[in-house]
Amino acid sequence: MIVGIDVGGTFTDLVCFDGKDFRVVKVPTTPKKPADGVLNALRGLEVGKIEVIVHATTLGTNMFLGQEHLTPPKIALVTTKGFRDVLEIGRQRRPDLYDLFFEKPKPLVRRRDRFEVEERIDAKGRILVPLREEDLVELAERLKGYEVIVISFINSYVNPVHEEKAKEIIERLCDADVVTSHEIDPEHKEFERTSTAVVNAYLRPMMGRYLNDLLSSLRRMGFRGAFYVMQSSGGLASVECAVKKPAMFIESGPSAGAVAVAYFSRLTGDRRAIGFDMGGTTAKASTIIDHEPTVTTEYEVGGKVHAGRIVKGSGYPVRFPFVDLAEVSAGGGTVAWVDEGGALRVGPMSAGADPGPACYGKSDRATVTDANLVLGRIGEKLGSGMRLRKDLAEKAIGRLADALGMDVVEVAHGIIRMANTVMAKALRMVTVERGHDPKDFTMFVFGGAGPLHGVELGEELGVRSVVIPPKAGVFSAYGLLLTDFRVDRVRGWLRDLKEEEMEEEFERLRREAMEEVVGKNVRVIRSLDVRYRGQSYELNVPWMGLERSIEAFHEKHEALYGFRMDDDVEVVNLRVTVMGEFEKPRLREGREEEYEPKPDSYREVFFGDWIETPIFSREKLKPGARFEGPAVVESYDSTALIPPNFSAFVDRWMCLRVVG
């Protein structure tokens, strides 16, 4: 028995495979104590018989995107004299070049909590100014009372001796968790390395408490199996790694969804796919090319959407491998409100699972879910048995309608359209702004709210078809059962190009990674980050020996930018990825026999006008089922909306494919 559990900002999803059948559970997340939501999802299972639990969470993302009840720790930063303001200075990146009022993201560590010490190591790792122990002893008195202390010295990625010494002294004198930048991100560029270390520190107490509470509870329930956590890269890691480097797991849930899309795109034969995941708190978009999610080595968490994209300079840089995602604060629980100018706004704040949308009966704030309920797009009783209060949803939206001088239905429809506009920006970011034409793609939509909005979004983008996979509402949890173990190692280089030395460093990184990897058929991937001398950014190319890798860089640069140069190149980083294969569930392939299914019931649904719409049960649909929109397809974990002028077909993998 293997179990995948995905903790989102609003719902906790579980998928269990016992060797023959799947079981799906969806329960509300408990934000104040997320482990309780996981335990609630597990209550119907014999926990002692579970061999493997694979876990993903968006708690890190939600902390940066408005989820309530998540309190950041008190953090201090210790850095080299003269570098106290590196987090505020950052990079000269502006979302809008001509916006005179643009404000950079507020530093996660206040200036009064940033401290300097005398020390200096040069770019070659030579000690210019020794670190004095007496300075650190004196500083330690001022650091008492902080929950997490980050140490980030200049050029520590080349020679970490001063960071190691400072950590040893501060740990001895202070009751705090101490994080060093070279352990988290051993690469050049002081701002990005310091930012990554600080984001890691920001999340560490929360992630540590959460995982420790969860594991303790599972052990008390009789669980003795293996426990793994999904990384943002789409691979699995140990609990120890998740506690030490939680910034690696910021996008763990959405990455699991991208892995699941890659797996199903291989089954369905869709070589180019867009993954669209809309949950209760956020909406995410990804691209899958030739059945592999695209991966980047730098990400900005908490970034803002501007002119249709999340741009660099609007968030907090984190340097770890990430599935290349565009993410916006738009989900089923996103709050609608009226601003001071009397305009309707949607987001970025989320009502989360507690208190949740107004229709849950605990809040009076209107959300996207309330709008869908008022418009008849979801029923008052969900497939999971959860009951929604339509009267409370109408009352909450009615308050907005009164302020706007509009009709309740008109405001509800406006909320949906505004949410769709925000989410369409994320979809364009991973396609149009990456040089891809959406018309060449199939869009896979999932998450608790994704199938409600996916077809309308697909129509706006002009994709070939929209696929709603089986278990769409818990699809990210499903993806946890379809991935492999992954260990990444990186070493900043920026030195002479000597192939023998590079081979030795690759081997050392491989040995380090092999000590952690779990699984069968272990695969080792080696690569370089290369740039022309004088450039600020680099391209990643596979390691094929120095000469062939450099030529691969020239070819990639020319393909991307239209030219190549005769200038010298420099290797910025060496990277090693080790993958350990996990056994995956075998999916049953059905036989397609085309037929027209009969609806279970009808209800009025708003599509610009009220239309009596057939309601189908997803569990009753068999391969070959074909029907026309408008239609609503309800299942235990999600509701799918098929607008007028669209048709739907169930394929042999139980995917619901919608075309216009």
Beta carbons within 10 angstroms of residue 171's beta carbon? 14
Assessment of whether the complete model's pTM goes beyond 0.75: yes
Quote the percentage of the chain above a pLDDT of 90.
70
Q: CATH classification of 252-330+419-481, choosing from 1.20.120, 3.40.50, 3.30.420, 3.40.30?
A: 3.30.420
Dig out the tokens for 548 from the structure: 């062939």
The 8-class DSSP code of residue 562 comes to S
**pLDDT at 307 > cutoff 50:** no
Residue span(s) of the chain under CATH 3.30.1490 come to: 484-581
Mean pLDDT score, 359-368: 92
One DSSP character per residue, 108-157 reads SS-GGGEEEE--EE-TTS-EEEPPPHHHHHHHHHHHTT-SEEEEE-TTTT
pLDDT of residue 106: 85
Mean pLDDT score, 221-246: 93
- Tell me how far apart the alpha carbons of residues 45 and 377 are, in angstroms, rounded to a whole number: 32
Dig out the tokens for 651 from the structure: 């394929």
Residue span(s) of the chain under CATH 3.30.420.40 come to: 2-63+216-246
pLDDT of residue 326: 81
Mean pLDDT score, 259-288: 92
**Least confident among 6-10, 489-493, 609-613:** 6-10
Band (pLDDT 50/70/90 cuts) for residue 11 is confident
Q: What is the mean pLDDT of the chain?
A: 90
- On whether the 2-63+216-246 domain is CATH 3.30.379.10, my answer is no
Q: How far is CA 504 from the centre of its chain?
A: 34
Quote the percentage of the chain above a pLDDT of 70.
96
pLDDT of residue 511: 96
Residue type, 469: P
Dig out the tokens for 398 from the structure: 């009615």
The 8-class DSSP code of residue 623 comes to T
pLDDT of residue 306: 46
Please say whether the dihedral angle defined by the alpha carbons of residues 251, 253, 254 and 257, taken in this order, is positive or negative: positive
Beta bridge partners of 573: 492, 529
Mean pLDDT score, 67-77: 74
Mean pLDDT score, 329-354: 87
Instruction: Say if CB 220 and CB 23 are below 8 A apart.
Output: no
Residue type, 93: R
CA neighbours closer than 13 Å in the CB half-sphere of residue 572: 18
Residue type, 233: S
Q: What is the pLDDT of residues 458-508, one digit of tens each?
A: 999 999 999 999 999 999 999 999 999 999 999 999 888 899 999 999 999
Instruction: Say if CB 488 and CB 296 are below 8 A apart.
Output: no
Q: Which three-class secondary structure state does DSSP give residue 295? A: strand
Mean pLDDT score, 584-604: 92
The 8-class DSSP code of residue 595 comes to B
CA 21 vs CA 17, 24, 50, 259, 588: distances in Å: 6, 10, 14, 21, 10
Instruction: Say if CB 211 and CB 555 are below 8 A apart.
Output: no
Q: What is the pLDDT of residues 98-138, one digit of tens each?
A: 777 777 778 899 999 999 999 999 999 999 999 999 999 99
**pLDDT at 310 > cutoff 80:** no
Q: CATH classification of 484-581, choosing from 3.90.1070, 3.30.1490, 2.60.120, 3.40.50?
A: 3.30.1490
Band (pLDDT 50/70/90 cuts) for residue 64 is low
